Every structure is written in structure tokens, then in C-alpha cells.
A and B are shown apart, each in its own frame.
Chain A
Amino acid sequence: MSWIAPTMFWLLLLVPAVLLLWFLKIRRIETVVASTVLWKRALQDERVRSPFQRLIRNLLLLLQLLAVILAVIALARPEFGTMRYSSRLNLILLDVSASMNSIESDGRKRFEEARSKALQIIDDIAGERGVLIRFGTRAEALTPVTSRMNLLIDAVRRQEASSGLTAFPEALELALSIAKQDAVVPAAAEENVPIDDEEEILPPQIDARIFIITDGAVPRWDGGPIPVPVIVESVGEVSSNSGIVALAARREFSDEGDLRVVVEIRNSGDDPISGELKLLLDGEIALATQQRTLEGGERWTRSFALEGAGSHRLEARWIPQGGDGLALDDRAWLVASTPRSIQVARVGAKNVLLDDALAVLPSVEVKQIENVDQIDPETAGDEFDVIVWDRVVPDRLPAGPGHLVIGARPKRFWPEEVPVVQQPLLVGWRRDDPVLRYSELGPIDGTVIEARPLPLVPGTTSLAECREGALIARFSAQDVRGIVVAFDVLDSPWPLTPSFPFFIDGALRDLARIGGGIETGIRSGDLIEVVAGAGVTEARLASPSQETETDVPVLPGGVLRIAAGDELGIYEMKWRAGDRGEELWQKRSIPVNLLSSSESSIEPRPAIGLAGSETQQGDLVWTQTRRELWSWFLMAALFLMLAEWIVFHRR
């Protein structure tokens, strides 16, 4: 038995006080009587008939003392059990993702039920140890491993559902990591018992179990078998919901720069849902309301053309009739802005095809430089956003601008000579990378006369690779970053295809960190990153409702980075250099959206994908190895007080 509040034992000083009161109480009042003869006989008679009367009188004192002692013990909060590793570890994973904001039929949030279940579990595991992990956009442990259930309860009560996605695999990885750290070393190893050569050395025993409180809208776990029992507490009943799952826009290739907007709405439930779609440009309705009835599971994609040159805030609003289960996915935002031109230095001999590709790109200003020596490493960062090295590259790349190296090898990352490969066959490329998003690399598959495929080394990642190495790769270090093409583009038909200028455009925008003027947004909890440039001294992030404004730390290079909050909408990052006036604030709007089919599918799924690991449903009967006992001691104290009262009045 251990004590949570042992300082309460100071209250045992009350025991002498009780004794003092007892002796004060029995100081007798003197009364004169005619004779004590009869009284003496009566007392003698009473003692003969009730030999326990004296005991009963002392019993009162005994009962009072026992009641005080038991009450003090109750205040000291005794626990039955041990703090040793034999106490089971309970990892409670609480889903706080956007789908947990669903409104149930009783009008309560789904997360309310999850919170109640978490509290119930904590009550059930009293006497054991636990740790609370929440998972929304990120997974984080909210408490240390503790046997103090109050810590867990307080942490659970503080939680609210977020508006982000479900980082379930990360949460499970974190839970397993904690469980493995908590593993018990086998007894044989503990006691230094010699182990025979043939005897198997047992792995550490994990005495833990994982509770997952979720509605089941979680990504599948592919991290292998889970070595501890997993108990899934499923919450939620409502499944009817519809919402915006995609919102995108791009500038039309026209002089006006009009916007082409695509909205996708999905009914993730089984029942038809009618609603209307509105598009608001800078808060004003841009298009007539679109009415639509969506059948169960139907996706509705609509494309709109808007006259929207310049900077605008666009909001898509889906208004289901009678509302639906989840309100978070009924609105989405994006920001269209006019991007600034990219300052590019092209270094190297004349290259008509490359120059033509650079010339057709909008918002790109190119400065031709023939010799490497003409680049001043000290000022290059201020002068250029990107330097394109065509078949030449200095030993030391200037810090600051991005680098697109074509037909050469940055020696900082690949100092050794790389063998030549004739007509390398393309194994694959990363189609989802922003650089290659609009590029089709078929033209370089087996058509490059000779290339020098680069092996992957620390600080490099492959964008397109052949069997011998990367044909296109990213490289980055603390002060330099860039993209390298491991062959001379003139040795391939690639510059003659539309894929090439798209690649150059994507690479320049990526390296210059300048988008296409459309901010489709990030998700709740993701990092907002703005490269504000050197000299920034102060930056703030305003929430969509403008209710909160947070100071943003300024990182080296004028990088502003902060996690978006739970509120969905358009955040505004503003910054300024030096202590200048308010009008010199520079601003950038960043939309934060949900836009997730999985979160919009709020239908509860009792079974979650755990790659073959077995799960159990909740409502188990737990073996209790650790209990707080104060309530029993308090009840015993009250019982003794009652007994004392009864004995006193029966005398």
C-alpha cells in the first residue's frame, strides 16, 4: 500500500486532542445525595448484570479514536497496489480529428461521447498506469506514464475535437514506442541467472494494452503486427453528411488572368441530401446559387469560370437543407493572388532550347551570364531567386538563391566522378512532386544519349531515376538547395516537348518558393511557412475571425513558420522589417481547409484496419491491481461514528 498524500498524517495530531476532549468531557459534576448506599449497590448490580458496561464506556473512546485515525488515513489517500512494472500500462488513444465534431442525434458532439468513454476507461484502469495520446493532425502524448488517474482525467477534460485530419498511424507508432520503452526485462535477466547457450533469450515482455477511442475514420495501419492487445471503443451513430472535399483554381492562360475554379462535393452518407452551392469572391456572391440533390455516395464536381484578375479571396459554401452531421466541411477557401516575377540568372554557354523555354514562362525575368565568375556569391541571394547552371557549376554554390543545375554535378553533394550511362531507362518519377506535377517524363525514357545518374547521398532525394541512379534529384543542405538534371538536355528530345517548359516552370517556382498565385491552402494543424526575406524583425499571424493574433518567430533567412490553428478559414500572416509604421506591414493570406473525403465520411466504423492485428471491442471487465482506497476508509470512519453515536445513546 502506498500513500498519495502522506502529509495528511500530520492530522494524527488530532488524536491527543480527542483524548483531551474525552477527559475533559468526563470531568464530573458533583451532586449531593442523601446516601450513596443505594447507588453503590446499584452500580455493583449493574456491573454484575452488564459486565461489558465499562468496556462500552471505553469503547466510545476507542471508536472515536478509530474514526479519527481512519479519516486521516482516508485523507492520506492510500493506494493498494505497487508502482512496479507489474502494473499494466494502458495507452489511451483519443481521436480528436475533424470527424469527431459530428453532431449526433441527441444534439451532442461525437467527441463528447469519446470523452465520456475515455473517462470511463480511466475509471476502469484505476490502480494501473496509463498515458493519454491524442491524435488529430498530429499525434502527441498529453501525459507522462502515470498511475495518477487525476492527471489523465484532467487531460481528457481539457480536450476538444480539432478540425484536422487523423494521424492515426503516428499515434499508434507513438503508443508502441512508449509501450516498448516500458517493457519488462525478463526475470532471468534481472536476477543475473546464467543463461545456457542453448537457452533462448526472451525478449522484453510488454505488459500493456492500447485503447483506441475513435469513430473509425482513420487511415489504415501498415506498420506490422501490434504486440499488445488493442481495444477499440467505437463512438458515433450519425452517418449522414455531405461536404466539400475539393476546391482548386488556376489562372486561365489569357491576358485577363481569369480564374477557373473546381469544386467537388460529396454525399458520404446513404440518404439523398439536397443543398445549394454558393461561390463568394471577396465576400460577394460571384455566381448564382447552384441547387443540387446528391444521392448517397454521389460526388458532384462543378467547374466555374470567374473574372478574377488580381488578388481575391474565394469561398465555396455548401448549404445542405436541414443541415448535416458535420459543419466543418461545408465551407472551403482559397486565395488567388498575382505572383511577383522570378529573377533568374542563367549561367553557361548559349543554349537556344533552354532560353526559349525560359522565355515563354510568364513572370520570369532572365539575366544571361556566360561565366561562373560573374556571379558574386555575396550578393547573388539578393539579386536572384534562382540561378540556372547550364553545363557549368562552381565548386561552391552561393547561399541564398535556389539552384537549377543542368548537365553538371554539384561537387558538394557528389564529389566523386560519376560513370556515364548510355540511354538510361527510366524506372520511375515522382508525379506528385510540385516540380513534376505537370511534366510527362516519357520523352527522356531511353532517349538520353548519355547521362551521369547520380547516386543518392545524404541531403538528396530522387525525382526521376533510372536503374543506375537519379536522373533528376533534389539536393539541400543548411544554406543551399536546388535541383539537378544529370544529363545535358541537348542530348535528349525533352526540350522539344511541352513537358520541358512545364518542368522548368515548376522547378523555378519551387526553388524561388513562389507559387502560381493560387493558394489552395493547407490543413488545420499544418505548418504555415512564408519566406519573408532578410531583415524581417516582427511577424504575426491573425486567425480567420481576426479574434486572435499570434507572434510568429522569425527564423534565419526570414522564414516565418507556425502551425495553423484549429479554426478553418483564411489566416493572414503579416510581417515588417525594422520598427517602421503600421502601413509597412506586408501581408500574405493562407487558407486553411478541411477538404478531406475521409473526415467527411463520418459514418462510424467499429473495425479499423490494423494489418492483421486483432482488435477487441470495449466493455471488458478489467483486473484491478491498483485502487485508491480512501473511500473505503472514509466509509469505515463514518460507520464508526454512527456506531459511537448509537452506543452513546443506548447507554
Chain B
Amino acid sequence: MSESGDVSEPLLDEDFLARCSRLALISRSVVRGKLHGEKRSRRRGMSTEFADHRDYVSGDDLRHLDWNIYGRLEKLFIKLFEEEEERNVVLLLDASGSMNCGEPNKWRHARQVTAAIGAIALASGDRVHLRVFDKGLRPTIGSLRGTRSILRLIQVLDELESGEQTALFPSLRAHGASAPPRALQILISDLMDPDGIDEALRQISGSRGESWLIHLLSKTEQDPQHNGDLRLRDIEDGSYVDVSFTSAVLEAYQRVLAGFREDVRKACARYRIQPVEVTSDIPFDQVVLEMLRHRRLLG
């Protein structure tokens, strides 16, 4: 397993890239692309792989009549084939200041996860759209397709800088306006937005395709190890709060964190988003290969 690794090292190593070619992202709903691709679509269409029959109606292509059945039953049936389509995978990466914080650092970890998922998607023939946002949606990077784009994706992520404040809702709403239809949307974020997450997650609702949320927190956010009296300063807006780290305060924090995660889960359920909770101390490849596979998001 690879660690999140040194910042001087490439985001993905060659071994991982080699394994990506044998993996594919699994969608639980039909996805549609502009081009015929390698993904079996639930939409019955034109391909070589038989799927079902249906009654002939006027106007159907007679080339698809099943003459064998007509010989036996003297009824006209049209053979239906599974249509193979190209799938759009949208990687929504939170590049706000809060992502560049915590121990181990979330920012590199988030880019590694993004790169890994993107590489798997590209390797399995999906079209990958990388959308980066902080206080707004950053200029769109053009979609990528084919294994040759993997290095391009890694390069782009490697050169990416974290931004300032988080504005989830405006950013994802802007994304929703230009998102490809019925795409697989994967949001990688810590969701640390003082304005809340509900409206934001609604923008990537799974009702228009399929959505995953990789909710990334650092180890120090999940289990703070502070002692004494500290002044905690917010990396994004500079505000601070004075905390005396007593057992009561730590217990209250754990309650609030659990409540926050519960809120995320409920919002995800409400908007048909597959949530995956990740901490930055778990190596990114373990996140991708084990956690996603365990949740049957990876095949």
C-alpha cells in the first residue's frame, strides 16, 4: 500500500497505475454519454450483446426482427441488444483552504484519491471531467478521455494549489448548471462550510445520474489530541475560538462531529449520494482499492 507520500513524489506511482487498468467504477444507475462507449447501458439499444425481445411496432428496424421466433410462433418480435455507451465521470475536488490543513495533510491526500479515481475511470474508457472549486468554481479543465489522459490528469492535479474560503453551495450550483447529464459525480471534500451542506449536496443529487461523496477529514479533526488552553484559528476566515481542552469539551466535540457526520449521511440518503467517510491517515490506495470495492463502487 502506498502512503499519501512525500509532496515531492508524484501523486500516483506506476504500480498503482498498472492496477488501474484492471479496475472500473461501478455505476448503479444508467449513464449516458454522447458516444458509444464501453459501458453497458440500461438503455436497450444497438450492440452485439442480446438483452431482450419486444413486440414489433410499426417503424422498427426490420433488420432486428427475430425470424426464428416468427417461424415458431408466427409473431413479430424485435430483438433488443444492450447498448454500450461512453460514461461521464465528474470529479469535484474541494480546493478550499480547509483542505490544506490537518495532519496528515488532507490536500495531497484528496488529490491522490482524485487522481486514482480519475485514472481508473480513464483506464476503463470513461470521459473524466475535473471540476475544482473553493469559494467558487474554478475555470473548467477540459474533459479527458482515454488512458493517455491519465498523465495529463495527474499533472493537472499535481500543479493544483489550494485556495481560500469554502463556498460549497455556489460552487456546486455553478457546476450543476454545466454538468453533463446522467454523469457519475464524485465529490471529494471535507464539507467544512459554515453555511451548511444540505443545499450544496442537493446540487449533486443522484437523481440526475449517480453521485458519490468522499468525505475526507484529517486524523486530528477526527480525534483531536490537543491539551491545555489553546486559541484555535480558522485557516479560511481567520476567526478564532478559545478552547480549554477539558474532557468535557472533547466529549462535546466528539458529539458534534458525530452529529455532523450523521447530517452528512442523512443528506446523502436524501439526495441519493453514496457517502464514503475517509480520514487522511488512511493511504489513498487503500481508500480507492478497498473502501470503494467494499462498498461495491469499484469492480
Q: Report A's interface with B, CB cutoff 8 A.
A: 25-26, 28-43, 45-46, 49-50, 53, 57, 650-651
Contact = CB atoms under 8 A, between A and B. Distances in A.
A40 B243 CA distance: 9
A428 B256 CA distance: 115
Contacts of A35: 98, 190, 192, 194, 234-236
B216 to A, nearest CB: 10
B106 A53 contact: no
Contacts of A28: 229-231, 242
The 7 nearest A-B residue pairs measured at CB: A651-B246, A46-B252, A35-B192, A34-B98, A42-B253, A34-B101, A28-B231
Contact of A43 (B97, B221, B230, B241): B241
Interface of B is mostly: mixed
Given A38-B260, A45-B256, 15 more contacts: A25-B229, A28-B231, A29-B229, A29-B230, A30-B231, A34-B101, A34-B235, A35-B194, A36-B240, A38-B221, A39-B253, A41-B256, A42-B249, A46-B251, A57-B244
A34 B249 contact: no
A324 to B, nearest CB: 75
A46 B240 contact: no
A266 B253 CA distance: 94
Contacts of A26: 229
Interface residues of B, number: 40
Contacts of A650: 247
A43 B246 CA distance: 11
A49 B249 CA distance: 10
Nearest to A35: B192
A49 B246 CA distance: 14
B242 A34 contact: no
B248 A33 contact: no
Interface in B222-275: 226, 228-236, 239-244, 246-249, 251-253, 255-257, 260
B232 A36 contact: yes
Contacts of A42: 249, 252-253, 255-256
A33 B228 CA distance: 16
B228 A29 contact: yes
A30 B233 CA distance: 7
B218 interface: yes
B51 to A, nearest CB: 48
B102 interface: yes
B233 A33 contact: yes
B222 to A, nearest CB: 11
A207 to B, nearest CB: 58
Nearest to A31: B230
Contacts of A43: 241, 243, 249, 252
Contacts of B244: 57, 651
B249 A31 contact: no
20 contacts: A28-B229, A28-B231, A30-B230, A32-B235, A33-B220, A33-B232, A34-B97, A34-B192, A34-B221, A35-B235, A36-B239, A36-B240, A37-B193, A40-B241, A43-B252, A45-B252, A50-B248, A651-B244, A651-B246, A651-B247
Contact of B240 (A30, A37, A38, A49): A30
Nearest to B194: A37
Nearest to B260: A38
A29 B241 contact: no
A40 B99 CA distance: 19
Interface of B: 97-99, 101-102, 106, 190, 192-194, 218, 220-221, 226, 228-236, 239-244, 246-249, 251-253, 255-257, 260
A34 B162 CA distance: 13
Contacts of A45: 252, 255-256
Contacts of B101: 32-34
B243 A39 contact: yes
Nearest to B235: A32
Contacts of B97: 34
A22 B268 CA distance: 47
Contact of B241 (A34, A39, A53): A39
Nearest to B220: A33
A31 to B, nearest CB: 5
Contacts of A49: 248, 252
B241 A651 contact: no
Given A28-B229, A31-B226, A57-B244, A37 B192 contact: yes
A52 to B, nearest CB: 10
Contacts of A40: 241
A380 B173 CA distance: 143
Nearest to B242: A28
Nearest to B100: A34
A34 B106 contact: yes
B130 to A, nearest CB: 23
Nearest to A56: B246
Contacts of A50: 248
A450 B243 CA distance: 120
A55 to B, nearest CB: 13
A25 B229 CA distance: 9
A593 B98 CA distance: 103
Which of A29, A33, A40, A49 has most B Cβ within 10 Å?
A: A33
A351 B44 CA distance: 180
B232 to A, nearest CB: 5
Nearest to B221: A34
A40 B221 CA distance: 14
Nearest to B253: A42
A26 B245 CA distance: 12
Contacts of B226: 31
B194 A53 contact: no
Given A30-B240, A43-B241, A45-B252, A38 B257 contact: yes
A190 B242 CA distance: 67
A41 to B, nearest CB: 4
Contacts of A57: 244
A28 B236 CA distance: 20
Nearest to A26: B229
A26 B246 CA distance: 14
Nearest to B166: A35
A25 B244 CA distance: 12
A509 B224 CA distance: 109
B248 A46 contact: yes
A491 to B, nearest CB: 116
A394 B231 CA distance: 114
Given A36-B239, A45-B256, A53-B246, A31 B233 contact: yes
Contacts of A46: 248-249, 251-252
A215 B179 CA distance: 114
A31 B232 contact: yes
A33 B235 contact: yes
Contacts of B221: 33-34, 38
Contact of A36 (B234, B246, B249, B255): B234
A36 B239 CA distance: 8
A235 to B, nearest CB: 62
